[in-house]
Copies of this chain bind each other. A is one copy, B any other.
Amino acid sequence: MTFREAVLAVARQNQSWLCVGLDPEPGRLPPHMRADADGVFAFCAAIIEATADLVCAFKPNIAFFEALGAAGMNALDRLIKLRPGPPVILDAKRGDIGSTAEAYARAVFDHLGADAVTLNPYLGGDALDPFLRYADRGCFILCKTSNPGSADLQDIPLADGRPLYMAVADYARDVWNVHGNVGLVVGATQPDALIAVRRACPSMLLLIPGVGAQGGDPALTVRAAAATGEPLTIVNASRAVLYADDGPHFAAAARRAAQRLRDSINTALVAR
Contact = CB atoms under 8 A, between A and B. Distances in A.
Contacts of A70: 70-71, 73-74
A27 to B, nearest CB: 11
Contacts of A126: 147-149
Given A121-B122, A171-B152, A146 B67 contact: no
Interface in A110-151: 111, 120-128, 142, 145-151
Quickly give the copy total for this chain: 2
Contacts of A61: 96, 100
B149 A124 contact: yes
Contact of A152 (B25, B99, B111, B125): B125
A66 interface: yes
Contacts of A127: 147, 149
B147 A63 contact: no
Q: Which of A94, A96, A98 has the most CB of B within 10 A?
A: A96
B123 A147 contact: yes
Contact of A100 (B64, B73, B77, B128): B64
Contacts of A96: 61, 63, 93
Contacts of A93: 94-96, 120, 123
Interface residues of A, number: 56
A106 B27 CA distance: 14
Interface stretch (A81-89, A153-161, A191-199, A254-262): A153-161
Contacts of A125: 149, 152
Interface in A38-66: 61, 63-64, 66
A153 B147 contact: no
A123 B66 CA distance: 20
Q: Which of A121, A127, A152 has the most CB of B within 10 A?
A: A152
A73 B67 contact: no
Interface of A: 23, 25, 61, 63-64, 66-67, 69-71, 73-74, 77, 93-101, 103-104, 106-107, 111, 120-128, 142, 145-154, 156-159, 161, 164, 167-168, 171
Given A93-B96, A127-B149, A156-B159, 8 more contacts: A63-B96, A69-B111, A121-B153, A122-B153, A123-B142, A124-B148, A128-B149, A157-B159
